[in-house]
Structure 1
Amino acid sequence: MSSPPQPGLERKIGPLQATAINMTQMCGIGPFVTIPAMVATLGGPQAVFGWLIGAIIALADGLIWAELGAALPGAGGTYVYLREAFGSRTGRLMPFLFAWSAVLFIPLIMSTGIIGLVQYLGYLIPGVADEGGTTGLGKVIGLGVIVLVVLAAFRRIGEIGKLTTVLFAIMLFAALSVIVAPFTRFDGAQAFAFTPGAFSFGGGAFWAGLGAGLIIAIYDYLGYNTSAYLGGEVRDPGRTLPRSIIFSILGITSLYFLLQLGVLGSIPLEELKSATSVASTVLEQAWGTGAAKVITVFIVIAAIGSLFTLTAVINAAVTVLVLVQSLAQVAAIVVLRRRRPELDRPYRQWLYPIPTIIALLGWVYIYFSATWLSIGLSVGWIALGVAAFLTYAKAERVWPFGPKGIQESFAGAAEGNGK
């Protein structure tokens, strides 16, 4: 049996819609923009292995989300998990810090999607983007897209689920088109022409760029947890959430690998590193300008779908997310297993604690691979968040200046999952 919905929420999202929501958020415009950056960062065709290592980290983290989401299927995702895991010790501090960090990383991630969308619009509409970036017209269009997404978000969850399924189909069509197109003129020797010495542990291009490459990969995989944020609106969350998370990661990993391989085998390396609308270029070379423009329209629509939830911006977004969400949830799954053994867990993490340890090591490596500016921004933002919380706590006379004032909403098996 599934847990009762939270007041005002309807459990309208089924397994197919939940998986579609995740995959649409994951793919969107991301890989179409970042494939050239991935190749440049890892120094050549060996970039395909960057996607695979990123997928391993994403899957390990996804198994954390799967257990937490199945056991605590409430609207809010990480906010709920941190509240339930740490509320008895630190009151509202941890969920407050997550909400505080979301104020920064959600707009940053959204802005990368807008940047990518405008880049591809530049292929269709002259004057939207140029070599220097987004033009005035492009900025106006980007603002209009944001307004459109915000308005769409106010629709009923059942309607949003149907809309997301349509956007998922559009995204899948666009991605499969960009996968098929390059294989019509695929050069295997070019695709697998790994840089000499790239894998040398003495400073090969692959290892030198792996950390920065994983930041890009993880950014592109982000979204596999979207259904968990909608836990209060998912049917049978104990089964639906784990499956939607795992299936979406495996599905998108396959798409990304084939996308990267196809692009490598159809565009010369030096041309690829500087490409701004790589998918459109691949399509034009294979099927002509007309087909490229039509499918680019679908790519732009898919980008809008991914917002419905550049490198410097990605760095900043990922470091803040890792510090307060990813590492905190690694701790949360351990704390809840020890402190709340009675909590009903329809799904328990496979091979625990191995995936949790892999996720922890992966997130730490990614965090310290970011730029010092991004690390400083993340630490500074959290410090400001702590100061803001203490100001609020003192005014409201809650912990540490009063009682913790927070109760566990998932007190046991009966309440947690309706059993």
Structure 2
Amino acid sequence: MTDANDEPIINDDIREHPATETEPLLARRPSNLSQASSLPRHLTTRHAFAILITLQIGSGVFASPAQIDSNVPSPGASLLVWALGGLLSWAGAASFAELGAAMPINGGMQEYLRHVYGDTMAFMMAWIYIMAAKPSAMAIQSIVIAESIGSIASFSSPDLDPTLLRLVAAGALILIVMLNSVNTKLTMRLSESFTGIKISTVCLVVLGGLIAVIAYLVNPKSSLSGAPDWHERNWFETRSTVSGSGTVDWTTMGTWERYGHFAAALYGGLWAYDGWDNANLVASEIRDPGKALPRAIKYAMVVVLSSYELVNVSYYILLPWDAISSNNAVAVTAAARVFGHWAGICITMLIALSCCGSITGNVFTIGRLIIAASHRNYLPSFLATRGIPASTQRHADPVAAPRTSSDSKSASVIDAPIYANILTLFVTLAYVFFGELRALLTFTGMATWVFYVSTVLGLLILRRREPQLDRPYKPTVLLPILFVVVGVLMIVRTAIFAPPQSILLAVLMVVGAAISKLRRRAAYV
């Protein structure tokens, strides 16, 4: 019997006879695509929900409010941006759910892009995600963990040694990757635990805002009633904000400049919501993906969108409005200001744990993406190895006793993609130590949205090109159209206002296309 750890993520027919640039994947796959993967289906709706929550609720909701508030004229406008970002992400998630239910193959976007556009597009997506987008996101999360630990150790001093911070970030990253390199069951347990921590953190911030409102109603002069702005000022009143090192005067601003600021605000919100696509990366491991995947995405988006709105309302209740746009740690500041020093430390610890959860989810999903890329020969095949290779587990004695069923069971305890996790670790460490995170954030955001829009556009193409494809879940066509239109506007805005990152992305895509062509040419020599 074939060891489960050595079974391919896609069927042998697809792996041994790769499609050409124009040959559709469906032409040679089984009629029941859900059988195209031989990985065990041990993930449920609950697991997919936990993956999405652990990836989406991270440092974004605690760090993005400053970027959003500084680029909108009022708190009311800020809340509208958060709602728009959530709805846009939901439209994208619903579109991805259709693709994941129709083509439940591990690899997510990589496989969808390959099926619609060909091998080169899929290679470029896998290359940029594995070597840039995912590792840089985990590097940001690791540094937030380090800053949280540093702020606990020296809560009153904002001056922390940058080198020490990076070392702490690296240590935290190594520990989390090691924990996620044991087996899938442990990773799922960690993911579910971090989901509870993330939701608890959000609930505590919302509870703080609710306490402030109740305290004001009982005694308007209470020290627990938060800042006075929330009950003294109009929530949609235009006021000046701080963006970068300057003050934004909204009363004299032109339409084009306003568009730039609103786009920057929306980008901050979309970054906070990012991660909604990751359940598709493990679609072939989900039981009944046609029902479970859309359900998990729906539940996760409801929780995340509601949480983000309520958290930001609480920020505007607890803090002076003029202080939010210049504060990158609004949750910690709000808790410490209203409820005292120890409340700030408590929130700081919870934020650090939330970031640990985000890294856990990213390690899990990027491992599956690397496996899928390896089976497509985009990366060396050994990176697809799950668990400890059998050769390293066998006894040195050449006359070893035959392996029993219990031996096989113990040998398969470690089923995580070890080599994929090692690659992820080293690439992410490079970003931790050498990356300029602010510029990198803009770059990776634009890179991911190029592929998001391309994938959802591919969904529209598939609806016309392959109407016979079995689609257990099919949302209204207005959702993918809305997503593509707004996504294109976001990409164009970023390309105009951030030319260095745009040029870098263009260069990487050209290089990726060239490498893909050379790789395919070498395969046929």
* Equivalent in the alignment of 2:184: 157
Q: Which moved more, 1:139-148 or 1:187-196?
A: 187-196
- Partner-residue secondary structure (3-state), 1:3: helix
Aligned residue type for 1:27: I
Unaligned ranges ≥5, structure 1: 399-419
2:448 corresponds, among 317, 321, 324, to 321
Whether the aligned pair in 2 keeps the contact of 1:22 and 1:245 (CA below 8 Å) is yes
> Against the structure 1 CA distance between its residues 172 and 332, is the aligned structure 2 distance closer, same or farther, given a 3 Å change threshold?
same
Whether the aligned pair in 1 keeps the contact of 2:48 and 2:279 (CA below 8 Å) is yes
The answer to whether 1:335 aligns with 2:461 is yes
Q: Which moved more, 1:292-301 or 1:24-33?
A: 292-301
1:124, 1:191 → 2: CA distance?
36
> Against the structure 1 CA distance between its residues 364 and 173, is the aligned structure 2 distance closer, same or farther, given a 3 Å change threshold?
same
2:202, 2:251 → 1: CA distance?
29
Q: Deviations over 1:76-113 (max 9, x none)?
A: 11112122223xxx3x2121111112121112222222
Q: Normalising by structure 1, what TM-score?
A: 0.86
Q: Within 5 Å, which residues of 2 pair with 1:250-289?
A: 250-289=302-341
* Equivalent in the alignment of 2:515: 388
Whether the aligned pair in 2 keeps the contact of 1:69 and 1:231 (CA below 8 Å) is yes
1:58 corresponds, among 89, 97, 106, to 89
CA RMSD of aligned residues (A): 2.6
- Partner-residue secondary structure (3-state), 2:468: coil
Identical-residue share of aligned pairs (%): 23
Whether the aligned pair in 2 keeps the contact of 1:198 and 1:207 (CA below 8 Å) is no
> Against the structure 1 CA distance between its residues 392 and 33, is the aligned structure 2 distance closer, same or farther, given a 3 Å change threshold?
same
Whether the aligned pair in 2 keeps the contact of 1:198 and 1:204 (CA below 8 Å) is no
Whether the aligned pair in 2 keeps the contact of 1:13 and 1:158 (CA below 8 Å) is no
The answer to whether 1:178 aligns with 2:198 is no
1:320, 1:51 → 2: CA distance?
21
Whether the aligned pair in 2 keeps the contact of 1:2 and 1:236 (CA below 8 Å) is no
* Equivalent in the alignment of 2:383: none
Q: Within 5 Å, which residues of 2 pair with 1:219-298?
A: 219-298=271-350
Whether the aligned pair in 1 keeps the contact of 2:331 and 2:347 (CA below 8 Å) is no
The alpha carbon displacement at 1:190 in A equals 4.8
Whether the aligned pair in 1 keeps the contact of 2:47 and 2:192 (CA below 8 Å) is yes
Q: Within 5 Å, which residues of 2 pair with 1:23-42?
A: 23-42=53-72
Q: How many equivalent pairs are there?
A: 389
Structure with more relative contact order (C-alpha pairs < 8 Å, separation 6 or more): 1
1:27, 1:108 → 2: CA distance?
17
Whether the aligned pair in 2 keeps the contact of 1:216 and 1:314 (CA below 8 Å) is no
Unaligned ranges ≥5, structure 2: 1-31, 213-224, 240-248, 363-436
> Against the structure 1 CA distance between its residues 276 and 331, is the aligned structure 2 distance closer, same or farther, given a 3 Å change threshold?
closer
2:523, 2:156 → 1: CA distance?
49
* Equivalent in the alignment of 2:485: 361
The alpha carbon displacement at 1:204 in A equals 9.3
1:117, 1:191 → 2: CA distance?
36
The alpha carbon displacement at 1:38 in A equals 1.4
1:72 corresponds, among 88, 103, 112, to 103
Q: Which moved more, 1:113-122 or 1:380-389?
A: 113-122
Aligned residue type for 2:103: L
Whether the aligned pair in 2 keeps the contact of 1:54 and 1:217 (CA below 8 Å) is yes
Q: Deviations over 1:189-235 (max 9, x none)?
A: 45815315969995398644111111111111111122111112111
2:150 corresponds, among 116, 122, 126, to 122
* Equivalent in the alignment of 2:218: none
> Against the structure 1 CA distance between its residues 99 and 392, is the aligned structure 2 distance closer, same or farther, given a 3 Å change threshold?
same
